[in-house]
Structure 1
Amino acid sequence: MNVTVAAPQNCAVTLTSTPASPTAGQPVTLTATVTCGGAPVPGATVLFSTTAGPLGTGVTNASGVAGVTTSTLPAGANVVTATVIAATSTCACVGATATATVTVGAAPNCAITLTSTPASPSAGQPVTVTATVTCGGAPVAGASVLFSTTGGPLGIGITNASGQAGVTTSTLPAGTTTVTATVTSANTTCTCTGVSGTGTVTVGGTTGFTAQPACYRLNVPPLPWAFAQATFSASGATPGAVVTFHLGGPSGPVVCTAIANASGNASCTATLNVGQVLFGTYTATTPAASGGTLSSSSTLAICLT
Structure 2
Amino acid sequence: MALALALTPSSVTVGQTFQAAVTGAAPGEVITFTYDAVAPQSVTADGLGNASVTFTATTSGTVVAAGATSGAATATVTVGAAQGCAVSVTSSPARPAAGQPVTVTATVTCGGSPVPGATVLFSTTSGPLGVGLTNASGQAGVTTSTLPAGSTTVTATVLTATGSTCNCAGSSGTGTVTVGGATGLTAHPACYTLNVPPLPWAFATATFTASGATPGATVTFHLDGPAGPVVCTAVANASGNASCTATLNVGQVLFSGYTATSGGASSSSTLSVCLT
- The TM-score normalised by the length of structure 1 is 0.56
CA offset at residue 46 of structure 1? 4.2
Is 1:76 matched up with 2:53? no
1:149-171: per-residue Cα shift (whole Å, max 9, x none)? 33455455554332323345555
The match for 1:100 among 72, 75, 88 is 75
Q: Partner amino acid for 2:176?
A: T
Instruction: Report the equivalent of 1:18.
Output: 8
Instruction: Report the equivalent of 2:152.
Output: 177
Distance 1:163 1:244 in 2: 28
Runs of 4 or more above 6 Å deviation = 213-219, 242-245, 256-260, 299-304
Structure 1 contact 158–164 (Cα < 8 Å) conserved: yes
Structure 1 contact 75–103 (Cα < 8 Å) conserved: no
State the structure with more CA Rg. 1
Is 1:66 matched up with 2:50? yes
Instruction: Report the equivalent of 1:7.
Output: none
Residues 125, 31 of structure 1: CA spacing in aligned structure 2 closer, same or farther, 3 A cutoff?
same
Residues 107, 273 of structure 1: CA spacing in aligned structure 2 closer, same or farther, 3 A cutoff?
farther
Name the SS of the counterpart of 2:68 in structure 1: strand
Residues 25, 163 of structure 1: CA spacing in aligned structure 2 closer, same or farther, 3 A cutoff?
closer
1:254-283: per-residue Cα shift (whole Å, max 9, x none)? 5487998xxx9x785622578xx9xx9855
Distance 1:281 1:149 in 2: 33
Is 1:246 matched up with 2:236? no
Distance 1:256 1:13 in 2: 71
CA offset at residue 77 of structure 1? 1.5
CA offset at residue 178 of structure 1? 0.4
Unaligned runs of 5+ in 1: 1-10, 35-40, 88-95, 285-294
Instruction: Report the equivalent of 1:298.
Output: 266
Name the SS of the counterpart of 2:10 in structure 1: coil
Query: Number of aligned pairs?
Result: 248
Distance 1:115 1:243 in 2: 19
Structure 1 contact 147–153 (Cα < 8 Å) conserved: yes
Instruction: Report the equivalent of 1:232.
Output: 209
Structure 1 contact 256–270 (Cα < 8 Å) conserved: no
Residues 22, 192 of structure 1: CA spacing in aligned structure 2 closer, same or farther, 3 A cutoff?
closer
Distance 1:27 1:61 in 2: 23
| Higher RCO (C-alpha 8 Å, min separation 6) | 2
Structure 1 contact 179–199 (Cα < 8 Å) conserved: yes
Q: Partner amino acid for 1:15?
A: L
RMSD value over aligned CA atoms? Answer: 5.0
Q: Partner amino acid for 2:178?
A: T
